[in-house]
Amino acid sequence: MTEKRIKLSLVLFVFIIQLIFPQDNNSQYNCFSILVGKDATIDGSVLFAHNEDDSGTNLVNWYKVPRLTHGNGENISLINGGEIPQVAETFSFLWLEMPGQPFADSYMNEWGVTIASNWCEPREETADLIDGSIGYYLRRIMAERAKSAKEAVKIAGSIVDSIGYANSGRTYCIADPNESWMMSIINGKHWVAQKFLIIKLQ
């Protein structure tokens, strides 16, 4: 990643993990994210902060995954039993893993596309799920394949439309050096996304 790209990339990539005052297992999960668009910052940067507020005492692992090439016919094996065709090349990314918390991991790829999520409660009682559907791995696929936040939303939406989402509900916060998006997905084939718009007052 060049110095210019780093400068244009997300200035704030903060993960505040509970190390000093962990919650007990009966406490409520209180993850939250802050997204600030370019037009609202002094230097024209997109800002993204995320608090991954999970119960218990948590340790994290940091990984730097390089660009990888994949063979023809290679598939991604999903936790729920299904498979998704892999693309020919996946991008490099930083991966913050929280072992034992399958929906808590966060990513930033070589294009500055950054992904974290917050839990959201659905109203759907039934779900249209195909071939085991997808859950945790969705955010990793966005990091592996997207050059922008908008492209990440399109990739995720296409997968959810195809096989469904096997989790109660998540709101994904996705940002790049130019834009920030929120994408809410609930169990089944239901999702909605919104780009953050800043209106300048004269």
pLDDT tens across the length of the chain (202 residues): 554 444 444 443 444 334 434 444 444 567 888 888 888 888 989 989 888 877 777 788 999 999 999 999 999 988 777 889 999 999 999 999 988 887 889 999 999 999 999 888 777 777 777 777 898 899 999 999 999 999 999 999 999 999 988 888 889 999 999 999 999 998 888 899 999 765 444 4
Size (the chain), residues = 202
Q: What is the pTM of this model?
A: 0.81
In a domain, 46, yes or no: no
In a domain, 24, yes or no: no
pLDDT (0 to 100) of residue 29? 64
- Helix/strand/coil for 38: helix
Report whether 99 contacts 71 (CB < 8 A): no
Which residue matches tokens 């991991």?
105
What is the DSSP pairing of strand 165-175 with strand 180-188? Answer: antiparallel
User: What DSSP element (H or E) covers 7?
Assistant: helix 3-8
In a domain, 80, yes or no: yes
In a domain, 6, yes or no: no
In a domain, 35, yes or no: no
In a domain, 182, yes or no: yes
Concatenate the DSSP letters of all residues of 121-177 into one string.
----SS----TT-BSTHHHHHHHHH-SSHHHHHHHHHHHHHHH-EEEEEEEEEEE-S
Sign of CA dihedral 33, 36, 42, 46: positive
Residue ranges making up the domain that contains 125 = 58-195
**DSSP summary character for residue 96:** E
In a domain, 29, yes or no: no
Domain count along the chain: 1
**Distance from C-alpha of 34 to C-alpha of 13, rounded to nearest angstrom:** 10
The angle formed by the CA atoms of residues 135, 139 and 144, to the nearest 5 degrees, is 130
CATH number of the domain to which 123 belongs: 3.60.60.10
The amino acid at residue 174 is I
pLDDT (0 to 100) of residue 1? 52
- Helix/strand/coil for 39: helix
- Helix/strand/coil for 12: strand
In a domain, 190, yes or no: yes
